[in-house]
């Protein structure tokens, strides 16, 4: 597939083109930045929803249920899954896969898992690029499932407009959740498995924590109860998700976040490109090798050398 064909395919919402582009993104193919550059002005329309929480709390089940509900409201869906134990990455239970098949024949639902094909550090970048690709393909909603362990749930905040944090009754790890920063990232709390004993207690506990938590904005995260098995509470959850987007728009938070993200992204790209430019020029030159040896010998400190090399590089750019 030629690059132009690929772009055309993605923009017209063709599944195969979109899947192909995401593979290129995962492989960190050199064509990606060119393609994404051309797609950029077609992005920014999708409502990106992050779903994070501990393994087994029902994220994949909720994503499937949310998809059904959102489809019934006429919305098109992309699902990006960054959970190695999820149905979409093959590590999952048979039941999960069967459940997801509910949407397998629906052309307006695109499902993709992000593996760790590239280096691990690149996963955040490739996930955000994949979300952008789905956005360019015209999906109204992008659901991003990430397992709530370590860095991933913090990264999802950077790309999602609305973050759902899932929990289940009886899990006594709330204090830990606060420590891990999970509380601060939630726009909506979901107490799933409401059929199990202790669901109301859990809701009360989270609300009590929200009462004492310092908040910077006017949105107080609602605490919703769901049953992933029966679908109870899903419609109310979707109402809250849409309510949250309405809040983001009316409060100006959406615009503010968009500017912040653009700034961060521009800085990141420039830093990356500049560093690469500088290093290709320096690496392997006698001057660079000499500098490294002198630093190791304590002849000179790395700060002074770095300063000198950068000044020289910038001067050479002006020539």
Ligand X SMILES: Nc1nc2c(ncn2[C@@H]2O[C@H](COP(=O)(O)OP(=O)(O)O)[C@@H](O)[C@H]2O)c(=O)[nH]1
Binding site for ligand X (CB under 6 A): 55-61, 86, 96, 192-193, 195-196, 227-229
Instruction: For ligand X, give the closer residue by CB, 25 or 63.
Output: 63
Q: How far apart are CA 50 and CA 36, in angstroms?
A: 22
Q: Which residue has the tokens 């100006």?
A: 252
The values of phi and psi at residue 226, to 5°, are -135, 155
What is the closest distance, in whole angstroms, from the C-beta atom of residue 262 to ligand X in the complex?
A: 32
For 158-215, strand residue ranges (E) read 162-167, 188-191
Let me know: does 187 contact 163? Beta carbons within 8 Å. Answer: yes
Out of Mg ion, ligand X, none, which partner does residue 57 contact, by CB within 5 to 8 A per kind? ligand X
Interface with Mg ion in residues 43-102 (CB under 5 A): 59-60, 83, 86
Phi, psi of 172 (to 5 degrees): -95, 35
**Contact partner, 192, from Mg ion, ligand X, none, Cβ < 5-8 Å per class:** ligand X
**Which structure tokens are listed for 216?**
């910077």
State which residue, 87 or 169, has the beta carbon closest to Mg ion: 87
Tokens of 136: 């360019």
CA geometry: angle 265, 23, 29, nearest 5 deg: 60
Nearest approach, Cβ of residue 115 and ligand X (Å): 16
* Residue number with CB closer to ligand X (44 or 95): 95
Only one residue has tokens 């249920």, namely 65
The residue nearest ligand X at its CB is: 228
Shortest distance in whole angstroms from residue 156 CB to Mg ion: 14
> In terms of CB distance, is 57 or 152 closer to ligand X?
57
Q: Which residues bind Mg ion (CB under 5 A)?
A: 59-60, 83, 86
């Amino acid at each position: 597939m030629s690059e132009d064909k690929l772009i055309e395919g993605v923009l017209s919402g063709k599944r195969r083109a979109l899947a192909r582009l995401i593979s290129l993104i995962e492989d960190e193919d050199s064509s990606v930045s060119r393609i994404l550059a051309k797609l950029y002005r077609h992005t920014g329309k999708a409502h990106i929803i992050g779903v994070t929480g501990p393994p087994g709390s029902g994220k994949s089940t909720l994503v499937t249920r949310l998809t059904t509900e959102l489809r019934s409201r006429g919305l098109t869906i992309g699902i990006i899954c960054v959970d190695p134990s999820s149905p979409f990455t093959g590590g999952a239970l048979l039941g999960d896969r069967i459940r997801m098949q509910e949407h397998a024949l629906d052309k307006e639902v695109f499902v993709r898992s992000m593996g760790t094909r590239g280096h691990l550090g690149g996963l955040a970048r490739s996930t955000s690029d994949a979300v952008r690709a789905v956005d360019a393909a015209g999906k109204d909603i992008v659901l991003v499932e990430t397992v709530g362990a370590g860095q991933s749930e913090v990264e999802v905040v950077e790309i999602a407009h609305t973050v759902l944090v899932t929990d289940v009754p009886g899990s006594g790890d709330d204090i830990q959740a606060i420590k891990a920063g999970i509380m601060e990232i939630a726009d909506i709390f979901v107490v799933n498995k409401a059929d199990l004993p202790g669901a109301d207690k859990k809701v009360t506990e989270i609300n009590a924590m929200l009462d004492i938590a310092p908040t910077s904005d006017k949105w107080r995260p609602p605490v919703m109860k769901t049953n992933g098995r029966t679908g109870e509470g899903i419609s109310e959850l979707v109402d809250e998700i849409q309510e949250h987007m309405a809040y983001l728009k009316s409060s100006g938070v959406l615009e503010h976040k968009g500017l912040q993200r653009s700034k961060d992204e521009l800085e990141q790209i420039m830093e990356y490109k500049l560093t690469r430019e500088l290093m290709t020029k320096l690496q392997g030159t006698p001057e660079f090798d000499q500098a490294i040896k002198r630093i190791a010998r304590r002849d000179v400190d790395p700060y002074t050398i770095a300063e000198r090399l950068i000044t020289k590089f910038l001067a050479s750019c002006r020539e």
